Amino acid sequence: MIIEIAHFSLILTFMISLVQSTVPLFGAQKNWVNWMRLADKTALIQFVLTCFGFGVLIHAFSVSDFSVKLVALNSHSLKPLIYKITGTWGNHEGSMLLWILIINLYGFLIVLFGKKLPLGLRCRVLSVQGVISAAFLGFLLFTSNPFSRELYPPANGNGLNPVLQDLGLAFHPPFLYLGYVGLSVTFSFAMAALIQGKIDAAWARWVRPWAVSAWVFLTIGISLGSYWAYYELGWGGWWFWDPVENASFMPWLVATALLHSAIVVEKRNTLKSWTILLAILAFSFSLIGTFIVRSGVLTSVHSFASDPTRGIYLLIIVFMFILCSLTLYAVRFSSIKSINQFTFLSRESGLVMNNLLLSASAVIVFVGTLWPLLIETLLSEKMSVGAPFFNIAFTPFMVLLGLLLPVGALLPWRKSKIKRLKPSLLAIGIFSVVSGSVVWSLQTGTRILGPVGVSLSIWIILGSLFDVSKNSTIANGKFLRRYFRLNNLPRYELGKSFAHIGFGLMIFGISAVSAWEVEDIRIVHLNEPYQVRGYTFELIAVSEFPVSNYITRRGSLLVKKDERTLATLLPEKRYYPVQATTTTEASINSNIFRDIYVVLGDRNSENSWVVRTYIKPFILWIWIGAFCIAIGGVVSLSDRRYRMASSYSNKLVKL
Amino acid sequence: MLSRKRKRIRLIFLGLTLLVASALLVGYAMKDGIEFFKTPSELIDDPPPFGKRFRLGGVVSPGSIEVSTDGSVSFEVADQSASIQVIFFGILPDLFEENQGVITTGILTKENLFSADEVLAKHDENYMPKELVDSLKERGVYVKPLKD
């Protein structure tokens, strides 16, 4: 019964979203305040109803109600409770419902934090949110209803894909969706601004916190996904340039460009039309991403079941949104005026370069991701675009971005006084090149990647540190006074440096692990030690035993260096009888200098197994860097001005 | 102070330069970065040059899997009319089995000998690489998975 009520509540939400997408918008055009005020209430009701629907689905999963088709297909009574719950969004219908829950959550948050937004802007924003919510609710109800019943409930369910039975599923999809869908808010703001034809610095001040928070979630979601792939898939890689990864990476690149260009709108009231375009593109990319992942045009762990009608419906949604928003943009383009000018050497032009490079790299990823689909549709030839393509085409833009970053971040607004900065920049530059050469002379082999990466990351990190120290230096600054000065530094400045340092750390991690990683595959006999780059490994036992819903075969490897035992690694192979599936669980010993990563392969003979061993220097820095980037976003969100912006008085607008 | 127009022209010029640069990079990267998908019979009809990387997909022939003492594995990938010997050094994916679809990436080293550095099998009981599903469907030997 409660399932039917939940289903009904979703249908109700759909109806309300239709109201929300039309009535307030019409009211705003006519200036009918009552009609406009309706948006707040509908957004609230939508959120409550979707929460209810989602809650019921979680409940159905956790009590293993197999009379619900979705639960029967994707769950199993023997599964641990945590995976029953996370399994709610480990399937197509459930994850779409999560998508809708989050879009309505954002609607609710707009009402909550946007109390002081001008009514016209707020109700238009909520209207556009209503359109998005309606489109996806329609998709859910007509093609992928999560609440379909099974007429003859099976005794037990089919179970969840074992690869997904991991804590990663609890965090990666919700964070990613918070980011993906968060970009709908900036999109709605852009649409609302275009509809009402007014974009000013205040608009940017309202938009930027939303852009930053969506971007923070996206950053966390992507890096969680990357770490999950790293330890779960057992291939030792952290990024595969898989279409599904790219689907989340493209909106990230554009969102990064967006939050930089929004600064220019806010501070200098220029680059407005470009910022609007980026807001449209960022959400378009997350729609395209949703299409790529959810439609089943590409198969991966992420695409759960393919059904052609779903693909077509999704494609129509994506196409309509992009078409309508770009048309509106084209119509209104001429009315958006940017007044301020800036010179070649100014922070504005630094941010323009940042935008151009990020957009160009997003284009590269876009081409590489969609090329195989295009070729297959046009020439019916099958091919794939692999990592080598992206390494060649994408990397140069990132290197260029890294080179320009410290300079651009240091330049003052409007006009440059580069002369004053020159000596310090030169010193940092020389220092980073020298450190790179030192690394080059220390490493064995002649690969240039490692040293270049080290130089680049030192350049970025020192540049950002210099930026902070410059801002906190007073004429005869003592250390303590500097500290207080630092504490008084605007939070967005601090956040900026955090994020830039994170980017530098990430570059260091990526280039170090790509340049100096060691891979070793061999047949290992019990109690016969082998060596990989100074570490001694010894397989001391392999045992088999059942755990909750799987049977594990676990190897124990002793890792030693200089006769000192560092760790016992326990790589596993797990067999899940319900799905008749085996998964590989790598065992990793991590520290900030290196990861030791061991995978147990098949049995070769009575006492020997195939074992794959990796030594991955500095790989942890990739995720530490990503974490710093996200922290930077959070710190900048805590800036006073944004708190002020959320309580901007209505009077200003009336004037 | 430059005029507004000239500034805009400069910006457009910069944008275009980047666009051209990225187009050139894409073209250059496409040379090595893309891998075509072939089935064993396509491979025999139209063999790619030695040393060119591509993806080979088909079904693992029963009884053809051999593990040698140095850890390399050899097996045959077949479709309805042809089969190719594949040699692979590494850990096979969890769902690698006889009579199962696989996709391998590598180069042709000799006539009918494919040296793979990557082997992909089904991800789970439902997942099968799309190229493979399509080529199996074309030959009418595709078996629809239970769940759908």
Q: What is the pLDDT of residues A376-398, one digit of tens each?
A: 778 877 777 878 889 889 999 99
Average pLDDT, chain B: 75
Q: Are residues B51 and B2 in the same domain?
A: no
User: What are phi and psi for residue A236, nearest 5 degrees?
Assistant: 75, 0
Return the closest-CA partner of residue A228 out of A285, A146, A181, A164. Answer: A164
At residue A324 the predicted structure's pLDDT band, cuts being 50, 70 and 90, is very high
CA distances A42 to A29, A116, A170, A516, Å, are: 18, 18, 29, 56
Residues A307 and A299: their CA atoms lie apart, in Å, by 12
Q: pLDDT at residue A475 above 50?
A: no
Q: pLDDT at residue A155 above 80?
A: yes
Using DSSP bridges, classify how beta strands B113-120 and B83-89 pair: parallel, antiparallel or unpaired. parallel
For residue A313, tell me if it sits in a domain.
Answer: no
Residues A500 and A477: their CA atoms lie apart, in Å, by 25
Which of residues A318 and A485 earns the better pLDDT score? A318
For residue A234, tell me if it sits in a domain.
Answer: no
Both tokens of A156, joined, read: 């037990």
Half-sphere exposure of A12 (CA within 13 A, CB side): 17
Q: What percent of chain A has pLDDT over 90?
A: 53
CA distances A174 to A51, A77, A283, A542, Å, are: 14, 24, 17, 37
Q: What percent of chain B has pLDDT over 90?
A: 1
Q: Are residues B46 and B111 in the same domain?
A: yes
For residue B54, tell me if it sits in a domain.
Answer: yes
For residues A596-600, average pLDDT: 93
Residues A215 and B43: their CA atoms lie apart, in Å, by 46
For residue A119, tell me if it sits in a domain.
Answer: yes
pLDDT of residue B124: 42
At residue A18 the predicted structure's pLDDT band, cuts being 50, 70 and 90, is very high
One-letter amino acid at A272 equals K
Return the closest-CA partner of residue A264 out of A209, A335, A201. Answer: A201
pLDDT of residue A486: 65
For residue B144, tell me if it sits in a domain.
Answer: no
Q: pLDDT at residue B147 above 50?
A: no
pLDDT of residue A476: 46
Q: Are A383 and A340 in contact (CB under 8 A)?
A: no
Q: Are A426 and A418 in contact (CB under 8 A)?
A: no
Q: What residues in A contact B11, CB-CB < 8 Å?
A: 352
One-letter amino acid at A5 equals I
For residues A462-479, average pLDDT: 71
Residue of A344, A356, A357, A382 to mutate, testing the B interface (most B Cβ within 10 Å of its Cβ)? A382
Residue of B69, B87, B91, B128 to mutate, testing the A interface (most A Cβ within 10 Å of its Cβ)? B91
Q: Are residues B119 and B131 in the same domain?
A: yes
pLDDT of residue B141: 54
Assign A545 to helix, strand or coil.
strand
ipTM of the complex model: 0.72
Residues A155 and A65: their CA atoms lie apart, in Å, by 10
Neighbours of B43 (CB within 10 A): 20
Average pLDDT, chain A: 87
pLDDT of residue B81: 79
Whole-model pTM: value is 0.89
For residue A440, tell me if it sits in a domain.
Answer: no
Residues A212 and A263: their CA atoms lie apart, in Å, by 11
The whole-angstrom distance between residue A532's C-alpha and the CA centroid of its chain comes to 35
pLDDT of residue A214: 96
Return the closest-CA partner of residue B128 out of B106, B141, B144, B107. Answer: B144
Q: Are residues B8 and B72 in the same domain?
A: no
For residues B108-137, average pLDDT: 68
Contact (CB<8Å) B91/A583: no
- Distance between A489 CA and the closest CA of chain B, angstroms: 32
For residue B147, tell me if it sits in a domain.
Answer: no
Residues in chain A: 655
For residue B25, tell me if it sits in a domain.
Answer: yes
For residue B143, tell me if it sits in a domain.
Answer: no
Q: Are residues B129 and B97 in the same domain?
A: yes
For residue A108, tell me if it sits in a domain.
Answer: yes
Q: Are residues B25 and B4 in the same domain?
A: yes
For residue A639, tell me if it sits in a domain.
Answer: no
Closest partner CB to B71 (pick from A386, A387, A523)? A523
Q: Are A529 and A537 in contact (CB under 8 A)?
A: yes
Q: Are residues B8 and B56 in the same domain?
A: no
Q: What is the DSSP letter of A269?
A: S
* Lowest mean per-residue pLDDT among A443-447, A466-470, A519-523, A643-647: A643-647
Q: Are residues B42 and B108 in the same domain?
A: yes
For residue B61, tell me if it sits in a domain.
Answer: yes
| Count of structural domains within chain B | 2
At residue A481 the predicted structure's pLDDT band, cuts being 50, 70 and 90, is low
Q: What percent of chain A has pLDDT over 70?
A: 91
Q: What is the DSSP letter of A385?
A: E
pLDDT of residue A652: 40
CATH number at residue B65: 2.40.50.140
Q: pLDDT at residue B122 above 80?
A: no
For residues A353-372, average pLDDT: 91
For residue B118, tell me if it sits in a domain.
Answer: yes
- Distance between A388 CA and the closest CA of chain B, angstroms: 5
Q: What is the DSSP letter of B47?
A: P
pLDDT of residue B146: 41
Q: Which residues contact A135 (CB under 8 A, 6 or more apart)?
A: A317, A320, A321
Tell which of A111, A142, A165 closes a domain: A165
- pLDDT tens, position by position, A231-259: 887 777 889 888 888 999 999 999 999 99
Element (H, E) at A36: helix A33-62
At residue A463 the predicted structure's pLDDT band, cuts being 50, 70 and 90, is very high
Q: What residues in A contact B10, CB-CB < 8 Å?
A: 344
For residues B107-135, average pLDDT: 69
- pLDDT tens, position by position, B22-47: 888 888 877 777 788 888 888 888 77
* Lowest mean per-residue pLDDT among A129-138, A305-314, A631-640: A305-314
Q: What residues in B contact A158, CB-CB < 8 Å?
A: 147
Contact (CB<8Å) B29/A300: no
For residues A99-117, average pLDDT: 93
Residue of A384, A385, A600 to mutate, testing the B interface (most B Cβ within 10 Å of its Cβ)? A384
The whole-angstrom distance between residue A615's C-alpha and the CA centroid of its chain comes to 27
Chain A residue nearest residue B118, CA to CA: A235
* Lowest mean per-residue pLDDT among A38-52, A131-145, B57-71: B57-71
Using DSSP bridges, classify how beta strands B54-60 and B34-38 pair: parallel, antiparallel or unpaired. parallel
Q: Is B36 on the interface with A (CB under 8 A)?
A: yes
Return the closest-CA partner of residue A332 out of A194, A199, A125, A193. Answer: A194
Q: pLDDT at residue A655 above 50?
A: no
Q: Which domain holds residue B71?
A: 36-138
For residue A390, tell me if it sits in a domain.
Answer: no
Q: Are residues B45 and B116 in the same domain?
A: yes
Tell which of A165, A198, A223 closes a domain: A165
Return the closest-CA partner of residue A549 out of A75, A167, A233. Answer: A75
Both tokens of A652, joined, read: 């200003």
Q: Are A302 and A245 in contact (CB under 8 A)?
A: no
Contact (CB<8Å) B33/A299: no
Q: pLDDT at residue B116 above 70?
A: yes
Q: What residues in A contact B32, CB-CB < 8 Å?
A: 388-389, 392
- pLDDT tens, position by position, A486-504: 667 788 888 999 999 999 9
Q: What is the DSSP letter of A68?
A: B
pLDDT of residue B148: 33
Q: Are residues B12 and B40 in the same domain?
A: no
Q: Are residues B12 and B66 in the same domain?
A: no
pLDDT of residue B46: 78
Q: pLDDT at residue A567 above 60?
A: yes
Contact (CB<8Å) B130/A299: yes
Q: What residues in A contact B29, CB-CB < 8 Å?
A: 388-393
Q: Are residues B51 and B88 in the same domain?
A: yes
Any bridge partners for residue A555, and if so which? A542
Rg (CA), chain A: 27
For residue A35, tell me if it sits in a domain.
Answer: yes
- pLDDT tens, position by position, A83-97: 999 999 988 899 999
Q: pLDDT at residue A472 above 90?
A: no
pLDDT of residue A252: 97
Q: Which domain holds residue A532?
A: 518-617
Which of residues A460 and A337 earns the better pLDDT score? A460
* Lowest mean per-residue pLDDT among A141-150, A342-351, A396-405, A499-508: A342-351
